[in-house]
Amino acid sequence: MRRRRLYGKKKTNKLHYKDLTCEHPQPALPMSYTSEAPFYYYDASDDERQNDFELYSEICIMNQEHFFIRGCVEIPVLNEEEFFTWNIWVSLSEENFRRMTDLWESDKRENEPPYFGWFSVSIPGYPETLNLKTKVHTRSVGTRPLIELEPTDHPLAVEQQEGITLERIKDIQKQLTSY
C-alpha cells in the first residue's frame, strides 16, 4: 500500500473564525471572603493601630479592653453541598475571650456553650452589619469558630437561615470587586 503525500496540497474546507470556541475553564467562583481585622482597626489612625492594637491571625485586642476573635459565618448554598463563608471578627466580653483563648488548644473547647458576641465587621452590599448580635460556637482545634447570627430580618441573618443561590454569590463578587 502506498502512502499519499499530503504536504503541499491545499485543504478545501477552511476553518472559519466563527467555528472556534474557547475551551478555557471558567474561573472558580469565590466561596469565601475574609476581613483581615475588625472594623475598629480600619477606623483607627496609623499611630493608633501601632500603639493600641494587638492584631494576630485569629485574635485581636484593642486598648487591652476590647477583645475580638475571627470566626466563620457559614451560609448554605442552595442545590450545592458546600457553604459560602464570611470570615469575620466578633467582639467578646473579656471573660469569654479569656475562656476561649485558655481552651484554644484543648479538645474540651468543643463542649463549650456558645459565647455571646457582637459582629465587628461592616460588610459592603448589606445594610449595616456592625454590632449584629451573634453566638460564637467553638469547634475542634484548628477550626475557626462558627458565628451564628441572631435570627432577625437582617438580610445576612436571613441568608444564613435560608441559604443563597450561586447567582447571589456572583452578585456579592461583583459588589466586592467594585467596592
Among 23-37, 93-107, 109-123, 148-162, the least confident range: 23-37
Which of residues 14 and 173 earns the better pLDDT score?
173
One-letter amino acid for residue 32 of the chain: S
Name the least confident of 75-84, 129-138, 169-178: 169-178
Give the residue-averaged pLDDT of 47-62: 96
User: Taking residues 147-152, what's their average pLDDT?
Assistant: 97
Q: Which three cell numbers stand for residue 179?
A: 467596592
What's the length of the chain? 179
- Condensed to tens digits (0 to 9), the pLDDT of residues 97-144 reads 999 999 999 999 999 999 999 999 999 989 999 999 999 999 999 999
What average pLDDT does the segment 3-21 reach? 45
Residue ranges with strand state E in 5-114: 32-34, 53-55, 59-62, 66-76, 83-92
pTM: 0.82
Between 154 and 176, the higher pLDDT residue:
154
pLDDT, greater one: 167 or 25: 167
What are the φ/ψ torsions at residue 153 (nearest 5 degrees)?
A: -90, 10
CA separation for the pair 159, 110 (Å, rounded): 25
Average pLDDT score over residue span 165-171: 95
CB 91 within 8 A of CB 120: yes
Tell me whether residue 166 is exposed, middle or buried, using C-beta atoms within 10 angstroms of its C-beta: 0 to 12, 13 to 18, 19 or more. Answer: middle
pLDDT bin (cut points 50, 70, 90) of residue 26 is low
Look at 160 and 125; give whichever has higher pLDDT.
Answer: 160
- At residue 28, the pLDDT reads 80
> What's the CA gap between 167 and 174, in Å, rounded?
11
Residues facing 67 on adjacent strands: 61, 92
CB crowding 15-48: b at 16 or more within 10 Å, else e: eeeeeeeeeeeeeeeeeeeebebbbbbeebeeee
Q: What is the mean pLDDT of the chain?
A: 88
- Report the sign of the C-alpha dihedral through residues 73, 154, 117, 69, in that order: positive
Q: Which three cell numbers stand for residue 17?
A: 473564525
